[in-house]
Structure 1
Amino acid sequence: MGPVHTWAGLILSGLIFAIFWTGTLSVFDKEIDRWMMPDTRINLTKVTPSLSVDKDIIQPLSEQQNAAAYWTIVLPRERIPYVIKAASYKKPRRHVRKYFHPVTLASLTNANRPNASNFIYPFHHNLTLRKDDLGAWLVGVASIAMLCLLVSGIVIHRRIFTDFFSLRLFRKFSRANLDLHNLTGVVLLPFTLVITLSGLIIVQQVYFPQLISRVYQQAISVENGNKTANEKDAQRLFSAKVLGHIRESASGEKGHFSSIEQMILKAELDWGKGSVYLVRVNHPGDTNSSVVFRRHSDDSVTKSNDHKRFNTMTGEPKGSFTGSQAVGIWNFISGIHYIQFDHWPLRWLYFFAGLGSCLLIATGLLHWTTASNKNYLTPPLNVALMSVHNIAVITGVIAATGVFLLTNRVRDISPYLDTVMGDKAEIYAFFSVWLLSLLHALLSVLRDRSYGYLRAWAQQSGFIAVVAVCAVILNWVGTGDSLIKTVFTDTYWPVAATDLVLLIAAASAFWASVKLRAHYQERF
């Protein structure tokens, strides 16, 4: 178990850290979006949307986008306080998404920039490597490695209860670091096990792509008298039976719209007022058009996919879908992992548990680095390169995230950045800084194999502190939303909490930089 714990940690801990770090930030992805998209800083408790779905949304869509295969309308709620209109077209194949103010319906032009929801969260589950599901497979391998690390960690730390009560922060650096590693490993064991295993379960279709098709092919074959069924039919049956996705064809004849608002009222008779958050119109403007309403699951752990279907022309119900018990279990596991429900204390608990898991991984890597460097006056190349790796994947990814946020604020102040870097400036900045942190660590360690890693840790920690403070200042300068305003005079917690977390991160990174610099200077 010792070698399993060591080698799984050395080979894959860097990837695991990046996944846990971005997953931790994704707990508050919608709140970080408010910080990154000033136009969407709308307080629905003070501004009540009075829009008419029929007149303000459906009518303009029917005039502008009749050729769409379907429309999707997301209605405003607390964590997404704006209207989303999306349309999908087959010829040419494209998907258009736009954001609007919930009261004035003015277009929010800067709301489609790279942010936490469309970069940090996707990076968490597929590393933005979407081709052939390569990123999802790498995340899956890292998740299996994390499970191996947790189980082997339990075995090799036989004094688990002693480790639970041991935290000697004021002893030597190596002793305090190891105590932190042991403590976070023991305390957060249930969380890390559940979050890792649930992450594997909810994407089981990626890892077992043939499982569903084989089972449903067999079901179709039995139903049709043992005739061979193809894979597409099996996937279609699975989508209909398990997910409630029914594919309907357009008639080609022009139709009209009945009142969507009246249909919403009918749907909410069963679900409760305000429960409909998504409206999807299939084949708009066609006689065979249908409207699907989805119910939000903000008030439960289970991530619901229940929905109701209506005839667009008559407004009459066409059917409803409620998942089976098996689907309910899968949705509950998804809800545990995605944590999209409205429960702020539990959301903060997840956030701190995620940070603790990052600390568990970082202290494990740091322990190996310091222990291995102690064994040699001049460490061999493999130890030096592992030191470089550890710096790049811990301080590197944190620094890259800070620059990702900072670049977003710079774009609002300086339009020239858009001209130079284009619409994906934040993403380019993220990967550029991550690469530069690797090069900086490599140069520092190769110049001084014995203690260069300590200097690199200290310098990159200092850089993180500077970037975090600059992000808070630029948010204030660019939007006028200072901490005094967002906390006291015009309270808006999504922005205030993001600023506060950045300042706490800056203080922590500065403290780490001072301690590491002192530790480095002790060697000379």
Structure 2
Amino acid sequence: MPGSGFRASLSWLHTWAGVLLGGLLLAVFWSGSLVVFDREIDRWMLPSTRLGPPPTDLSLDRLVVPHAQQLAGTAVRWSITLPTQRTPVIQLEYPDVAGVSTRRFIDPSSGELLPDHGSWAATGFLFPFHYSLHLRWRDLGYWLLGIAGMGMLLLLVSGVVIHRKLIREFFSFRPHKSTQRATLDLHNLTGVVALPFHFLISLSGLIIFFAIYFPTVIERIYPGNPAAFSTAAFGTYTRQASGEPAALASLDTMRDRARDTWGDEPYMLRVWHPGDAQAYVEVRRTFAHQVTMNVDRMTFDGSSGALLLDHRTGPIAAIQRFFSGLHFVQFEHWTLRWLYFLGGLSGWVMIATGLLFWTGTRRARHQRQGHSGAHLLDAICVCSCSGLILATLGFFIANRALPTDVGRFEIDRAALEGWAFFLIWASTLVHALIRGAAAWRGQLLAIGAAALAAVLLNWLTTGDHLLFSVQHGLHAVAGMDLMLMMLALLALTTARRLNRRAADA
């Protein structure tokens, strides 16, 4: 058994790793919990995509190619994502003249081009926020999250050593005790109940981006030739455009050939240099029915339809892609999806209660000594917990409240939604610095009001109130409204309890 000195050192390490990385980890776990249902949130944020189940077979040549040629005829590539039960629309993505990625949705039954809502929605904003924080300069976001992932592993290991009586602490939640005692009990409970999940999700997050964190490994194996690594690991095929026009061969034929070869469905086709004699088409295999996010792909000549490359996931790449599948949970398994969601929220609660307990134990002492550090950490804790939730709700409200025609003023509506998120998040920090401990109650009340406002705005702007969504099988929309109402109830109840405790103090 480790000695008392060793445990004391680990306790110090556990405390300060949590304090220094707590805010970052809270953002990661909160956004990660949400993106488990990112496509369902998309249905709520993109009303025109609230369609019924897609047809079992459809013609890309008839439904998609005409729209792609009209909208993105000069683009270097088209990406066509096929519809599923979770995403009942065809997604067409292409870079515009400025190189900015643009996506449009097509009704798979009629071939009608659906209205552009001018929103990144959850898959375009919350999902990248989870793994990059939208900090792309020199991969800064990836590196920050890499540090956070390593810190989380350190917190988990040190926490197990420090808390030797894990089973007893699992059954020691005392919500009616003092605030500090209840906070510590909840921290221990959430840390124990989902410990394997927290460890797996942190480790897999680091493995996914190994090429960023350990680029020298690739350089050692493929010196001066990183393209060879991409070809061997992911089946990447490239060639330059010729500048000579040529008609595009049938995408339906390529998709059917890939389906027959795999005995499985494709999920995406990517056309490179469309309309050129050197065009080529990637057909990628679905991973909806397996944990591993395979990189199986078949590449065809865009003019003749001849097969250029049939790539299958190799054994080494399969290990990395297996961990990717465990992390991103893109396979179809609703029970596991809900468990991932609850596991992510338990991680968020574990980190939040750890920060709350630490600041609570030091607040009075720091105030007596005239130190301002505890006040700053209190504000950061408020901003990282209730502030982040309030910013997310502001993002949803902006999606429903902003007019759809702001593009005619040359304003990027999707960017406005993103700015709403970050500006509200920053304002919660300012509010916490000004109001101190009272900021908790104020922001919890704001969360309750904002969550109910989001539900009301969805009804007013689309007509799809909760009963309508349930009756018409719009389960994603109904689920989103229900979760918002549950969040409002939880926030208002907690605010009331804080008010009662403040009055009793």
Aligned positions of 1:486-505 closer than 5 A: 486-487=469-470, 489-505=471-487
**In structure 2, C-alpha distance between the alignment counterparts of 1:254 and 1:408, rounded to whole Å:** 41
Larger mean Cα displacement after TM superposition, 2-11 or 61-70 = 61-70
Q: Does the C-alpha gap of structure 1 residues 125 and 64 become closer, same or farther in structure 2, counting only changes over 3 Å?
A: closer
8 A Cα contact 2:366 2:372, kept in partner? no
Alignment match, 1:150: 156
8 A Cα contact 1:263 1:315, kept in partner? yes
8 A Cα contact 2:67 2:113, kept in partner? no
Give 1:497 deviation, angstroms.
Answer: 0.6
SS at match of 2:144: helix
Give 1:271 deviation, angstroms.
Answer: 2.3
Give 1:58 deviation, angstroms.
Answer: 2.4
Larger mean Cα displacement after TM superposition, 351-360 or 165-174 = 165-174
Letter of the aligned partner of 1:52 in structure 2? S
Give 1:290 deviation, angstroms.
Answer: 2.2
Aligned: 1:123 with 2:129 = yes
Alignment match, 1:136: 142
**In structure 2, C-alpha distance between the alignment counterparts of 1:310 and 1:422, rounded to whole Å:** 36
Alignment partner for residue 450 of structure 2, among 437, 457, 467? 467
**In structure 2, C-alpha distance between the alignment counterparts of 1:403 and 1:355, rounded to whole Å:** 20
Give 1:80 deviation, angstroms.
Answer: 2.0
**In structure 1, C-alpha distance between the alignment counterparts of 2:319 and 2:299, rounded to whole Å:** 24
Aligned positions of 1:15-164 closer than 5 A: 15-44=24-53, 48=55, 51-62=58-69, 65-88=72-95, 93=99, 95-164=101-170
8 A Cα contact 1:50 1:103, kept in partner? no
Aligned positions of 1:346-365 closer than 5 A: 346-365=336-355
Alignment match, 1:458: 441
**In structure 1, C-alpha distance between the alignment counterparts of 2:367 and 2:139, rounded to whole Å:** 44
Aligned: 1:245 with 2:254 = no
8 A Cα contact 2:237 2:299, kept in partner? no
8 A Cα contact 2:36 2:340, kept in partner? yes
Alignment partner for residue 484 of structure 1, among 441, 462, 467? 467
Give 1:112 deviation, angstroms.
Answer: 4.1
Q: Does the C-alpha gap of structure 1 residues 409 and 88 become closer, same or farther in structure 2, counting only changes over 3 Å?
A: closer
Aligned positions of 1:14-413 closer than 5 A: 14-44=23-53, 48=55, 51-62=58-69, 65-88=72-95, 93=99, 95-217=101-223, 231=224, 234-272=225-263, 275-375=265-365, 378=368, 380-411=371-402
SS at match of 1:328: helix
8 A Cα contact 1:40 1:111, kept in partner? no
Q: Does the C-alpha gap of structure 1 residues 395 and 248 become closer, same or farther in structure 2, counting only changes over 3 Å?
A: same
Alignment match, 2:4: none
Give 1:66 deviation, angstroms.
Answer: 4.6
Q: Does the C-alpha gap of structure 1 residues 306 and 390 become closer, same or farther in structure 2, counting only changes over 3 Å?
A: same
Larger mean Cα displacement after TM superposition, 121-130 or 278-287 = 278-287
Task: Give per-residue Cα distances to partners, 1:136-167, cap 9 Å, x unaligned.
Answer: 11111111111111111111111111111211
Give 1:41 deviation, angstroms.
Answer: 0.8
Q: Does the C-alpha gap of structure 1 residues 332 and 285 become closer, same or farther in structure 2, counting only changes over 3 Å?
A: same
**In structure 1, C-alpha distance between the alignment counterparts of 2:72 and 2:283, rounded to whole Å:** 20
8 A Cα contact 2:104 2:116, kept in partner? no
Alignment match, 2:6: none
Give 1:65 deviation, angstroms.
Answer: 4.5
**In structure 2, C-alpha distance between the alignment counterparts of 1:7 and 1:289, rounded to whole Å:** 55
Give 1:251 deviation, angstroms.
Answer: 3.5
Letter of the aligned partner of 1:53 in structure 2? L
Give 1:102 deviation, angstroms.
Answer: 1.9
**In structure 1, C-alpha distance between the alignment counterparts of 2:311 and 2:348, rounded to whole Å:** 39
SS at match of 1:301: coil
TM value normalised by structure 1: 0.89
**In structure 2, C-alpha distance between the alignment counterparts of 1:63 and 1:385, rounded to whole Å:** 54
Aligned positions of 1:434-445 closer than 5 A: 434-445=425-436
SS at match of 2:92: strand
8 A Cα contact 2:39 2:122, kept in partner? yes
Task: Give per-residue Cα distances to partners, 1:173-219, cap 9 Å, x unaligned.
Answer: 222211111011111110111001110110011112232123201xx
8 A Cα contact 1:168 1:175, kept in partner? yes
SS at match of 1:501: helix
SS at match of 2:299: strand
SS at match of 2:310: strand
Q: Does the C-alpha gap of structure 1 residues 407 and 156 become closer, same or farther in structure 2, counting only changes over 3 Å?
A: same
8 A Cα contact 2:449 2:488, kept in partner? yes
**In structure 1, C-alpha distance between the alignment counterparts of 2:366 and 2:241, rounded to whole Å:** 73
TM value normalised by structure 2: 0.92
Q: CA RMSD in A?
A: 2.2
Larger mean Cα displacement after TM superposition, 70-79 or 367-376 = 367-376
8 A Cα contact 1:309 1:317, kept in partner? yes
**In structure 2, C-alpha distance between the alignment counterparts of 1:259 and 1:14, rounded to whole Å:** 51
8 A Cα contact 1:486 1:496, kept in partner? yes
Alignment partner for residue 6 of structure 1, among 6, 15, 34? 15
Larger mean Cα displacement after TM superposition, 330-339 or 153-162 = 153-162
Letter of the aligned partner of 2:21 in structure 1? L
